[in-house]
Structure 1
């Protein structure tokens, strides 16, 4: 089963394989997408009635916002302040956490319904489970920042997640929380991790930290990191194997 919807202003899709019950499969997919729509309603800074838009006035976070702010605080501390959900003007912007967090919750909904083989694509950030064919993982392309029609590499992933943060589509939209200035050292950062919440936040951290963030991310939950610097050089790091 393949399904596509526009969520958070971007196309999100799911490809489910081998589900034993078609009716239950459709119900699970519907619930998964509703969880992402609900996250958009709560966290969008473009909706004046969203909780994020009202937070600085109301001040009392819901359990979901408390969880998201907790994730942000943790990675803010780990990155020495480079990762921040406060924009340079002081306004709250949880985009660096929410898309991956919401998509991972949607994937968890599919898993809870007994769906064990799927690829959930949230605007290019991907969480996968199982194998689409025996002996082969899901193929996830990593776009070339200089050419939207080309891939720098294609990853084969099973039971994991891939997220990319870059400047090539939205410009310099990621800032270094330590200085309040746009992050300019890298053009793109891709992180492979066990879950999409971690992969998405770490990709943003790497972009904010610059070249120093590549090895840092491999020490803080990334299975692999791929980054492209301003000169187009591909830089990589792998998580250290346990001793």
Structure 2
């Protein structure tokens, strides 16, 4: 006689099968998608961690450039050490009574190397830069060769330049009256080097007497 399907042995087997299937279904439903960190951990196992970006020093050939294509170079302490503040004050007099230590900027472009030293004529609030219309600027431009030197087209930015004798191979002086400031400017050529000394004061300030002689004396300072 055939055994009944509801026999105790078969019932126990059926319960075991159902429990196993239910367990598999439950695990597949409750397992979530792989997170990004888990995917990275599994996919990048054994790889070294990425190095931090933007923390390395600027290397040769990767210097920043300005909007006009000038390459900005690191300034050195000696770039604006001469002439010094004390010597300049002694020459310029009262207009330079509050002369501040210089801020240096160094750049190059098309065979021309520039070092610009800006001396504020008054104290500068923390985090700010000298006011162009109230400062002394000494800029030195050195050309690699005659071809680069001719690009300067001297004298530069002078309203009424007049020759000055006794300084370098050539020199010019000019008084530039602008809307916001008055500039006393001297340019001196020495070989392939040009030194431009410019004293700018607010337009409303009283005229400074004897500036051609004073700027010439600044140019002669060691």
User: Given the two structures, how large is their TM-score scaled by the length of structure 2?
Assistant: 0.35
State the structure with bigger RCO (CA 8 A, min sep 6), 1 or 2.
1
Radius of gyration: which is bigger?
Answer: 2
Structure having the larger proportion of residues in helix: 1
TM-score (norm 1): 0.33
